[in-house]
Structure 1
Amino acid sequence: MNSNEVLQWLRIEIALLVDRKEEEIDIHEPFSSYGLDSAKTMLLSGELGAVLNMPVSPTLFWDYPSIYELCGYLRRDEAHKWKQETASSREVPNQRDPIAIIGIGCRFPNVSGSGEFWELLLQGLDAVSDYPAEREKLGEGKVDRQGGYLNQIDGFDYPFFSLSYREAIRMDPQQRLLLEVAWEALMDAGISPESLANTRSGVFIGISNSDYGRRELEAADELHIHSVVGSALCIAANRLSYFLGLQGPSMAIDTACSSSLVAVHQACCSIWSGESQQAIAGGVNVILSNAVTSSLSKAGMLAADDRCKTFDIRADGYVRGEGCGIVILKPLTRALADGDEVYAVIPGSAVNQDGRSNGITAPNQSAQEKLLRSAYANAGIQPCQLGYIEAHGTGTYLGDPIEVKALGQVLAQECGRTDTVFLGSVKSNIGHLESAAGIAGLIKTALIMKHGIIPSSLHFQKWNPEIPHESFPFVVPTQCADLRSGKEVYAGVSSFGFGGTNAHIVLGRPPHRLPEQSESAPFLFTLSAARKEGLSALAQTYADWLKHVSQPDLPSICSTLLQGRKHHEHRLAIAASSKESLMKALQDEVSAPDISLPWKSYGHVLSNPPQMVYYFPAHDMSDADAGLEEITGDALFQQAYFVVSQLYRQLVPESFAQSHGDWQTFAKQYAHAEMLRHWGIQPVSCMGEGVGSITALVVEGQLSLPQAIERLVRQDYDASVKPEAEKTRGKVVVCISSAPVWMSQKEDSIIVCNGSSMIGKLQLQCQLFVKGLYVPESSERRKVSHMLPGYPWNHQSCWKTAGNHSGESNGITCFC
């Protein structure tokens, strides 16, 4: 059997074993997701060994935990043993692990974030408008044509990125956009940026315009090193690597209009080669000068009505636009293992050049056909598997026909297909974003693959007569349409540079995810921001967002917020049991941000979190019912409690044990400490009185459990101990099981740990989180990170004009 036959055999056999349909078995999903336990694995390995006529160890199903990975191993092992595969067959491109798009950040005309962008596309909105009047106040003059423009281009949260105002105003706004949008993309991926530091993470940025930089460098009387760095195109990528501490390749790419799609292609190649573990890729474009626009207009390249009428008989040019888009890329196998949510997968891509076409800026149909064939071969798919094409589609009278003819030759005539292929172009919504055009098309297509819906393409009424549409099965959607069903349906994204560099990327559907089982247990919801006002704004944003989400997967969302975010100094933690209770607590935070309640904690974390001291009191103050709930609430607590109880019954006569209940207080205190230790929380010292003095000695390692029980029997412990003030000054005191009589519950330095029930645990975790003492290292829960509300930037105007060369502007004093 060859590797493809083995793959198909495994899909059939696993489907039979777990009583599923063959088409439901995803070759990239872990075996465990289908309930393939050890017994079934043993059976499967034996049958596979018989089929292959070779021993197959059951452990291989854990070493290579998916059908795709196991087949890859068997293929390599077979080549090593029998040398039957040629070098070319071992390097078939479609055997590479596809690249997963796990996070998206974007700032496009009238939208911020993938959620808003998707709504704009679904509603068929036109974001083209007049040049923002606010820019004239910034001293930038006026661009005399409509376009896809960004609002408040001068705004930037420079303190968040540890930059001075003096440097920020000399930075090209494209660099500022990249910093914020890349951060948003990492948040959307559920990745804490701190986790990428010192890793082989690559940065690939498409950028070609430098209106701000040219003007800044021309001001020779005020030239500053920040001006040189702030205007260099390479720094657009390098600054991201520097800020995040990344050690993979970092490069700016300029191929004009195809820059950002070429950047994504290079990022994928870097991952496939092993040069990068994961990558940040995208592009940016900002228009601040009328010079280029005027030149393009005189050359007849811009549409008279400033609209991209892609594929239409009225096509007469394009409209300029600006924006920034970023995607986070990771090998699919790693993404699945990390529990990442996936927008779409990239199985292959290609880049080529027009060569000596009819003019350096003229497209070349033959080159575009070769590009498409190369991309589909690299992806390991057939052209007939394409269901949607996001075209370059600028809306020029001759450029559009050349592109459609190339597509028709490869997708229709060469494979004889007759089923519908949808063609679209995001340029009809937001304009031609030039160096950011490709990433805008890629993000749109990734959203199509995720949701299975194709938005309408605007301004299309009648086919351009130069396009032989009768010969091709192409349809331009004028209203939303469904993407053809099936996992084996793909989409292609094209982007062509006016210098002749072409790029095409293939996108596939995200892997099927089994639905999470609904849970009614309470959950820990956490938010943080670098400033207090930002935390309240973020709480309000989430409260508003929850109103429009009917059935949010709150446990998974909470897991993502806790483990997939950087936790800033101003923190909010909520122990909630439902969407309604969470919304109420968020509104409480907005109206009374400084008040902590049993279910809501607010805190300000210092750069160095405080040390912790455990205090164990003499008696457990909880009543019998609460005690029973504690013992059965947490698995680790329960295990530690019963270890003590069983040991106590072995060492102490039953009649004596029944008449002395101190061991129960000790067992609860010890079990609480073990639960905290499992959370990664360690005290610098322990104190106690009465029974608690014995618990303190055990937790500090000065007594073993048998020794502690002997002392409990003899009642050999301190009757009353009041800790000295210097031992607790500046530290957080965690009072295990009940509060001490010698301290006020209102003091900020007191945390009472008096329950291991689910709600008791969450209330405790709330208090620990807001003091910077608790963030779990890992969780098995999968992420639900896409399209959650973004970070609340504190934008301040940062603009270098003739009136603010001194480093002060608008009342803001710079700091260096």
Structure 2
Amino acid sequence: MKSSDVTNWLVKEIALLVGRHPEELDIREPFSSYGLDSAKVMLLSGELGAALDIPISPTVFWDYPTIQELSFYLCERGLRGNDEVATASSIAPDQRESIAIVGMGCRFPGITGVGEFWEHLLRGTDAVREYPADREKLGEVKVDRQGGYLDGIDGFDYPFFHMSYREAIRMDPQQRLLLEVTWEALMDAGISPELWANTQSGVFIGISNSDYGRRELEAADGFHIHSVMGGALCIAANRLSYFLGLHGPSMAIDTACSSSLVAVHQACHSIWSGESQQAIAGGVNVILSNGVTSSLAEAGMLASDDRCKTFDAQADGYVRGEGCGVVILKPLTKALQDGDDIYAVIPGSALNQDGRSNGITAPNQSAQEKLLLSAYARAGIQPSQIGYIEAHGTGTFLGDPIEVKALGQVLSNGRQADDLIYLGSVKSNIGHLESAAGIAGLIKTALIMKHEVVPPNLHFHTWNPEIPRTGFPFLVPVKCEALKLGEDVYAGVSSFGFGGTNAHIVLGKPPLVRNVDQTSEMEPFVFTLSAARKDGLSLLAQKYVDWLQKAEKYDLPAMGAALSRGRKHHEHRLAIVVSSKESLITALQDYVRAFESSSLWHYGYVASQPAEAVFWFGDYDGGNPGDTGEEVIINDPVFRQSYFVVTQLYRNLADDTFQQEGKFNAFAKQYAYAQMLRHWGITPKSCVGEGIGRLTADVLDGRLSLVQAAQSLVHGEPTDLGQLEIGVDFKDIAICLLTVPPGVAQYANTVIVIECRDELACLQVQCDLYTKGLLVPTGSARTRKLPHMLPTYPWHHQSCWKTTIANAEEPNNITCFC
């Protein structure tokens, strides 16, 4: 049959099917313009196949969306594939280093944090449920369909982010989610946020929905400037940059369902171009309107049982979902230099558009194939290296086959028949998160690359009959499977916007980095926790108890390094000397139960403006502990070196008849302890002493040289020294070295006695200094920080929801400099 014959047949049959005259049909217009829906297309494809005596898939009407294009394809088959491969082969790989994913945070249905997310994926948990009842209590209209809904959508820890309640209730809950989840992602990365302040760090956020902001602007109870900012999509990204003090690009991106994956793509390119040093990328979605859901249901786009049955023969639509996901991105060399733990790397990505397909919301197989070829070419890999695909996979009867056909056309090339590719979609677990869908799939895939395990795909039993099985190397896992071994195995993540914007990102496994602290016995270290509220600190301690009791694999020194070097240290602080997992659990449990002083842990409150330290040195009275000549056994190198220098001076200056060895030893220890504290980073506001202690204070403040002080001590000159008179504020913290001089307590707020007879005593001192805000113990510098998937921050959620009652006295006076 000629192309013209196929054209005439299609014109005649479509005219009969839609009740129009053949001359009314334009063969260059999409099939959707004739009123052909999915059911009519399936009927037409069967009749066309019978007329041509060849099987015709209904998806071909989306691949070639006009009568003219479809007729040409059916009569001239085989030409298109060669052209596209040639086009893709001309794309040069990106000559840039990979981007490392160093931290992730998420809030998905029934899930808080990446650790919980991974556990749910491995267990195959279905998070779809009825619309939460607590939202009706907030005055929200019930959404009639089940979905992937978040709990406690009204909760927000607004004091933590330095906001007023007045502003918080007018903020879209999507902005609140982004603030908290971004903070969690930075903590997961082991990045204290103040380290990024005033840097060229970018923020790229995918966001499309604005139910809360639209309702707020349409409310009849008065208009407030906070409502404008609280509902503006751009502020979702800008508020992060403002709170963290970032100076790189800051933008909200709306390409519908592909928004968050497009945001990651843009973030990577911003880093590659040098526009950003590092970046925050993610997406968010919250459902507060029944109108959109009802419209989608009436259009037949939602699944009858509210489940995404991706790739399955029973696939009949998707289910809506909510969530927020954020990733922290750095250039790979920078991540390795910083000692970051890495989930996965991004060697390349691609974006494109469906163009003029069979309707603006219709997918296009040809465009998807070109997208895949471009992404793999730019990543510098072969399609045969792909071991896992996180598909867009909404679970529609015709959308899934179009996507899998595009994947099969590209990924089958150069692959052995038994070289299977795992195919999954996180939508089967948590629903379709729309503007946050892509980031959910990316986080899942990064976890797969990190752990080399593919979790099960839910609601899959039998392949969709429109998905070709012959020659397509795909396997949908129904239980946990091992990802193919080897460093050259990659994964791909797809996300398609309903307006036709497509994104595909390539992920590689993290580089193998050997931890240098592989010792059979763990050396004791200081374990630190902190929170903005005291009850929050107790909750956080309990979280770590629960985590440790369940953990099968753990590295306590690496965890300690992450908590000390990669966390913001808040006002309420807890410090514990850890020698084993059991001792840590016991101390944490003791703190949770006691809330009072204990020998197992140290607690303290540090004001926003921490007190300063004053070094106090007492006189030698012949009975002071530690002033004899016993061997110094602590291993601090600065202490030992300083002590050695003073004792060498003593041996050079004193003759055999000198009888003041105890005094000289007390002076040597005072000086050595002071130098050790300075090396730790504690710079005293002043040094105060009496007797021998005044001599030590004079040396540390530069009024005497060490040699002059030693000579004075040998010759007996300091015996008449009184107390050095220097002003001391009561808010100051007195650090007494070796002994507590009389009357110190009346001058200073807190007294800390420094005398470390062994390594454990030295660590106890560090605990005390940490809880007073004077020191952050770092532990061994050789220990890599492994912060990933540790318990999340204990937010103090308070209900922040806009009421319908106007407050006439509320100020409305934000200054705008637009």
TM over 0.5: yes
Kindly provide the amino acid, as one letter, of the partner of residue 352 in structure 2.
N
Q: Structure 2: how far apart are the matches of 1:706 and 1:434? A: 73
Q: For residues 728 and 124 of structure 1, do their structure 2 counterparts lie closer, same or farther at Cα, with a shift above 3 Å needed?
A: same
Aligned to 2:695: 694
The DSSP-based 3-state class of the residue aligned with 1:661 is helix
Q: Structure 2: how far apart are the matches of 1:311 and 1:322? A: 22
The DSSP-based 3-state class of the residue aligned with 2:327 is strand
Aligned to 1:410: 410
Structure 2 residue 117 is the aligned partner of structure 1 residue 114: no
Aligned to 2:802: 800
Kindly provide the amino acid, as one letter, of the partner of residue 218 in structure 1.
E
Greater mean alpha carbon deviation, residues 411-420 or residues 400-409: 411-420
Select 1:569's aligned residue among 555, 559, 571.
571
CA contact (8 A) 2:110 2:150 kept: yes
The Cα of 1:724 is off from its aligned counterpart by 6.8
CA displacement 1:33-78 (0-9 Å, x = unmatched): xxxxxxxxxxxxxxxxxxxxxxxxxxxxxxxxxxxxxxxxxxxxxx
Q: Structure 1: how far apart are the matches of 2:600 and 2:716? A: 38
The Cα of 1:207 is off from its aligned counterpart by 0.2
Aligned to 2:498: 498
Aligned to 1:685: 686
The Cα of 1:520 is off from its aligned counterpart by 2.6
The DSSP-based 3-state class of the residue aligned with 1:708 is helix
Structure 2 residue 630 is the aligned partner of structure 1 residue 617: no
The Cα of 1:223 is off from its aligned counterpart by 1.1
CA contact (8 A) 1:308 1:394 kept: yes
Q: Structure 1: how far apart are the matches of 2:275 and 2:367? A: 29
Q: For residues 792 and 147 of structure 1, do their structure 2 counterparts lie closer, same or farther at Cα, with a shift above 3 Å needed?
A: same
Q: For residues 649 and 406 of structure 1, do their structure 2 counterparts lie closer, same or farther at Cα, with a shift above 3 Å needed?
A: same
Select 1:634's aligned residue among 633, 636, 644.
636
Aligned to 2:547: 545
Q: Structure 2: how far apart are the matches of 1:369 and 1:561? A: 45
Q: Structure 1: how far apart are the matches of 2:809 and 2:155? A: 16
Kindly provide the amino acid, as one letter, of the partner of residue 224 in structure 1.
H
CA displacement 1:597-618 (0-9 Å, x = unmatched): 4552211111211121111122
CA displacement 1:136-168 (0-9 Å, x = unmatched): 111111110000000110011111111111111
Structure 2 residue 226 is the aligned partner of structure 1 residue 252: no
Select 2:557's aligned residue among 555, 573, 577.
555
Q: For residues 807 and 380 of structure 1, do their structure 2 counterparts lie closer, same or farther at Cα, with a shift above 3 Å needed?
A: farther
Aligned to 1:712: 713
Q: Structure 2: how far apart are the matches of 1:740 and 1:279? A: 52
CA contact (8 A) 2:384 2:413 kept: no
Q: Structure 1: how far apart are the matches of 2:627 and 2:545? A: 35
Aligned to 1:473: 473
CA contact (8 A) 2:222 2:806 kept: no
Q: Structure 2: how far apart are the matches of 1:277 and 1:180? A: 22
The DSSP-based 3-state class of the residue aligned with 1:727 is coil
The Cα of 1:719 is off from its aligned counterpart by 5.3
Aligned to 1:18: none
The DSSP-based 3-state class of the residue aligned with 1:717 is helix
Matches within 5 A, 1:306-321: 306-321=306-321
Aligned to 2:63: none
CA displacement 1:64-97 (0-9 Å, x = unmatched): xxxxxxxxxxxxxxxxxxxxxxxxx9x9645411
The Cα of 1:632 is off from its aligned counterpart by 4.2
Kindly provide the amino acid, as one letter, of the partner of residue 456 in structure 1.
P
Q: For residues 563 and 626 of structure 1, do their structure 2 counterparts lie closer, same or farther at Cα, with a shift above 3 Å needed?
A: farther
The Cα of 1:775 is off from its aligned counterpart by 2.3
Q: Structure 1: how far apart are the matches of 2:415 and 2:95? A: 23
Greater mean alpha carbon deviation, residues 219-228 or residues 338-347: 219-228
The DSSP-based 3-state class of the residue aligned with 1:158 is coil
Kindly provide the amino acid, as one letter, of the partner of residue 373 in structure 2.
R
Structure 2 residue 373 is the aligned partner of structure 1 residue 370: no
Q: For residues 370 and 627 of structure 1, do their structure 2 counterparts lie closer, same or farther at Cα, with a shift above 3 Å needed?
A: farther
Aligned to 1:32: none
Q: For residues 92 and 467 of structure 1, do their structure 2 counterparts lie closer, same or farther at Cα, with a shift above 3 Å needed?
A: closer
Paired-residue identity, %: 67
Q: Give the total of aligned pairs.
A: 719
The Cα of 1:806 is off from its aligned counterpart by 6.6
Q: Structure 2: how far apart are the matches of 1:146 and 1:702? A: 76
Aligned to 1:514: 514
Kindly provide the amino acid, as one letter, of the partner of residue 557 in structure 1.
M
The Cα of 1:794 is off from its aligned counterpart by 0.5
Q: Structure 2: how far apart are the matches of 1:613 and 1:721? A: 18
Kindly provide the amino acid, as one letter, of the partner of residue 270 in structure 2.
S
Q: For residues 550 and 397 of structure 1, do their structure 2 counterparts lie closer, same or farther at Cα, with a shift above 3 Å needed?
A: closer
The Cα of 1:592 is off from its aligned counterpart by 2.1
Structure 2 residue 456 is the aligned partner of structure 1 residue 456: yes
The Cα of 1:413 is off from its aligned counterpart by 3.4
Q: Structure 1: how far apart are the matches of 2:714 and 2:492? A: 76
Q: Structure 2: how far apart are the matches of 1:628 and 1:371? A: 74
CA contact (8 A) 1:441 1:493 kept: yes
CA displacement 1:616-635 (0-9 Å, x = unmatched): 12238675799756444211
CA contact (8 A) 2:206 2:284 kept: yes
Q: Structure 2: how far apart are the matches of 1:191 and 1:593? A: 29
CA contact (8 A) 1:260 1:283 kept: yes
| TM-score using structure 1 length | 0.85
CA contact (8 A) 1:598 1:763 kept: no
Measured on the aligned residues, the alpha-carbon RMSD in Å equals 2.3
Q: Structure 2: how far apart are the matches of 1:471 and 1:499? A: 31
Aligned to 2:753: 752
Structure 1 stretches lacking a partner, 5+ long: 1-88, 809-814
Q: Structure 2: how far apart are the matches of 1:142 and 1:729? A: 58
Kindly provide the amino acid, as one letter, of the partner of residue 765 in structure 1.
Q
CA contact (8 A) 1:739 1:745 kept: no
Aligned to 1:301: 301
Q: Structure 2: how far apart are the matches of 1:370 and 1:451? A: 30
Greater mean alpha carbon deviation, residues 540-549 or residues 280-289: 540-549
Q: Structure 2: how far apart are the matches of 1:683 and 1:281? A: 42
Q: For residues 416 and 476 of structure 1, do their structure 2 counterparts lie closer, same or farther at Cα, with a shift above 3 Å needed?
A: same
CA contact (8 A) 1:449 1:509 kept: yes
Aligned to 2:360: 360
Higher gyration radius (CA): 2
